[in-house]
Chain A
Amino acid sequence: MSDVNITINGNAVVVPSGTTILEAAKIINIKIPTLCHLDIHDLGAVNQVASCRVCVVEVVGYDDLLPACNTEVLDGMIISTTSVKAVLARRAMVELLLSDHPTDCLICEKNMDCELQSVAAELSIRTSLKYPGQKSLHEVDDSSKAIFRNPNKCIMCRRCETMCSDVQTCNVLTSAGDGFDTVIQTKGNLPLVQTDCTFCGQCVSVCPTAALTEVNRIAKVWSAINNPKKHVIVQTAPATRVALGEAFGLPAGSIVTGKMVSLLRKIGFDKVYDTNFAADLAIMEEATEMIKRIKEDKDLPILTSCCPAWVNFIERNYPDLLYMPSTCKSPHQMFGIIAKTYYAEKIGIDPEDIVVVSVMPCVAKKYEATRKELRHNKLKDVDYVITTRELAMMAGEACINFNSLPDSEFDELLGESSGAGNIFATTGGVIEATMRTAHEWITGEELEEIEYKQLRGLEGVREATITIDSKDFNIAIAHGLGNARKVLDAIQKGEKEYHAIEIMACPGGCIGGGGQPYHKGDSDIIKLRQQAIYNIDKNKVKRKSHENKQIKKLYDDFLGEPGGEKAHELLHTYYKAKKKSE
């Protein structure tokens, strides 16, 4: 690729050909406002439709203004971001968007986190009445337990469509209608629950406004905490501790485990536990299941099942492959059932009085917690799921200064965890944790090289062969449902044969989940979170799930054998084929 010479606002700059005006301006620290633009190259999510026109700039020789986000620079271009024509047009675009947008910012779910709001503030727009007129009116969709859609707040940036169709290949969200009434809606304008939606929440994580948000459960959690009859316990997912700090202004990748535990205690949870503990438990079950299946050479490959969006996806799209996913429940569901059986017994509280709250990086977990088969004695395994973002909101409500909180430890009994449980948060982590345990169980010898570097990375589909006891295990890892589809299609056609496959619905795994603080299109944030996850693992003394003492005690006192009868009753589930909508 050759270089091109261009001038932006009088500054000469040399960039490789193929660079967009936006990227070129960024090099010389000129920030052009954007709204619809989304470029998470590393994760395959690129939205460059240039629909919002907020980034238009003037280029000498062109009558019309050009959108900076998808116009490639040409040699000799003289670009001005400051010309009156461009400034007025950018302003007008935001003013037009505001003229067709509700003005309830103060009580909006995305207040202070809204990209439309910040662009409007950046351009000092102080009135939305410059272009008064009719506002579009669409029905809100509150049918699902996970995602709330308010199309009235949609600005037609189509990021959600890119995520849903191009990255996740679910094709649920699409634009419909013509002209002024154009809106993003579900296929056939059905309520979300009746569509093929997997509730992965990637649409939520990229939506610049509050057109797509998680279903807020904060009020329910508060009322449980305030109910003196209830014993409210909380568990936190591995991915929340590396992202929660971002909501309080800390740099991406900050590890805030200790502060987070203090925060949860201050909020008023009776006990603070760790989903990592349950992740270790899941490894015990999953490794047992994997070894058994490989020994019998039956029902291979084994697919991981800790991602609820992925489970929804396979139930709808590959009903003939439903024998493949491991029957293990997801870790937070395992935790819920253990809390309401083993833990209730230990501390002598009626399971009906225990409320289990999960803090998750995920929107689909909200849906998962309501699944009918994930109940025991008519009690839900997990009562409420809140996202990392919602936890940050709760801290704000309770006036807790997060950054000055002291570090503290998880409570005893269900709080210990190994490094293996922690790496569940990233793509490749679950399978790495499983292999660590499987290796030691198969060989009976201690694993020398704990880190399986060949399983790590951020490529959409990764393959590796791991040799244990001179037997080769073919492993595949996919993150993002589009990549999962590629792997499953290859298996269906018989092109590929694997022993085990790990699949995560969200790009990057749980660290890039739909419930995490908004990354706003910055893939570095996801990389830093991943690095932090591996650092936590590195600094743990125990890095294999079967070394977790509290897990051993749980099996000795209560469950018996991994994969045994009681474990099967409590920790395993089943899958149902669902009809795919036409």
Chain B
Amino acid sequence: MYGVMVCCGSGCSYSKSEKIIEEFQSQCKNLGIEEKVIILKTDCLGFCEYGPTVVIEPGDSFYSSFKLENVNRVVTEHLVNGSPVEELLCHDEYVTEAITSQVREMFVDPYIVKKEKIEKYKESGAINDIKKIVDNNCGKCTACRIGTMRLYEGLNRIIDGQADESDLEKMEGLCNIVRNSSLCGTGKTTPEPILETLAFFRGETDVLNLKKIAYKIDEDKCIGCTLCARVCNKGAVSGKLKEKHTIDEDKCTACGDCVAKCKFKAIWR
């Protein structure tokens, strides 16, 4: 699994970096490795004088002054055979160091999805970067001033295991809105790493440390009418007639069917 990030900031775009993306896509497809390679368009990485720039993860390989005709070599040697094309890499130590740490913080290697990555996410300090934006943006437009604060708070809730699936949806929606509505690049780019993270970790509820949503039955109110057990199509409710029922939290998906059926308001979340 490889992540290929092609900078499409204004400088690199001017040098036709979008053509490079297209070339990568078509060559990967021709070789049948498109499922193993994620090709991403990124915003300005800040090293425009080395543009167009391409970063390949894992391995933090930073290709500078990338030319369209080099795509073939990189695909065959790096993406297929696994050895970076040494002569095309940037050898300015300061730049490579800066850019790789920057990329790592921005994207937190979300390309190889593993459980331990959430721990790495916590360690990476990426969330502190968002805090920096919350504290240091210019404060002019609502989307960035308040929006990034709410994103930061939401991210913290996820990491602390306070969030549930609906929070994720809300986060994703807010990310898109902040990105679309902000005045300048600060607000437009802040949600990117969060969106990336969500895109790759979504569905891995245990990885994301999400709160399990399940309904419970209030023993004092339940009279054992069996209505809930009959309506549940996950088989999560068990109990006999005229006896208190219980819900198996692992099976419950919180669809709410039983809540709607119960006449005694005995089911709650």
Q: In the bound complex, do residue A93 and residue B135 qualify as a contact, i.e. CB atoms below 8 Å apart?
A: no
Residues of chain A within 8 A (CB-CB) of B181 are 53, 56, 64-65, 89, 92-93
Is A96's CB under 8 angstroms from B141's CB?
no
Given known A88-B173, A89-B177, A133-B149, contact A156–B135 (CB-CB < 8 A) = no
Q: Which of A49, A155, A179, A181 has the most CB of B within 10 A?
A: A179
**Given A52-B141, A65-B180, 17 more pairs with CB closer than 8 A:** A53-B141, A53-B143, A56-B180, A64-B180, A64-B181, A64-B182, A88-B173, A93-B143, A93-B181, A131-B150, A133-B150, A177-B139, A178-B137, A178-B138, A179-B135, A181-B139, A182-B140
Q: Does B260 contact A (CB under 8 A)?
A: no
Whether B188 is near chain A, meaning CB under 8 Å from some CB there, is: yes
A-B contacts, CB under 8 A, total: 99
B140: shortest Cβ distance to chain A, in Å? Answer: 5
Residue of B at shortest CB range from A98?
B146
Does chain A have a CB within 8 A of B147? yes
| Contacting pair A182 B150 (CB below 8 A) | no
B134 at the interface (CB under 8 A from A): yes
Q: Is there an interface contact between B139 and A130, defined as CB atoms closer than 8 Å?
A: no
Q: A64-B188, A65-B181 are in contact. Are A96 and B146 (CB under 8 A)?
A: yes
Does residue A50 face the partner (Cβ distance < 8 Å to B)? Answer: yes
Complex CA–CA separation, A72 to B183 (angstroms): 15
Q: Which of A72-114 contact B (CB under 8 A)?
A: 85, 88-89, 92-93, 96-97, 99-100
| C-alpha spacing A99/B170, complex, angstroms | 14
Chain A: number of interface residues, binned into ranges = 20 to 34
Inter-chain contact A179/B139, CB cutoff 8 Å: yes
B198 within 8 A of partner (CB): no
Contacts of A85 in B (CB 8 A): 180
| B180 touching A50, Cβ below 8 Å | no
Counting chain B CB atoms within 10 Å of each CB, which of A54, A177, A178, A180 scores highest? A180
A34-64 at interface with B (beta carbon < 8 Å): 49-54, 56, 63-64
> Is A99 a contact partner of B146 (Cβ separation < 8 A)?
yes
Residues of B within 8 A of A49 (CB): 140
Whether B147 lies near A182 (C-beta < 8 A) is no
Question: Does B147 contact A96, Cβ atoms closer than 8 Å?
Answer: yes
Given contacts A50-B183, A88-B173, A92-B177, contact A178 B146 (CB under 8 A): no
A residues in contact with B140, CB < 8 Å: 49, 51, 156, 175, 182
Q: Tell me if B159 is interfacial: C-beta within 8 Å of chain A.
A: no
Closest to A182 in B: B139
Q: Which of B136, B143, B150, B179 contacts A178 (CB 8 A)?
A: B136
- In the assembled complex, 26 residue pairs joining A and B whose CB atoms fall closer than 8 Å, in A order, are A52-B142, A53-B143, A53-B181, A56-B181, A64-B188, A88-B173, A92-B174, A92-B177, A96-B142, A97-B142, A100-B149, A131-B150, A131-B170, A132-B153, A133-B149, A133-B150, A134-B149, A156-B139, A156-B142, A179-B135, A179-B136, A179-B148, A179-B149, A180-B134, A182-B139, A182-B145
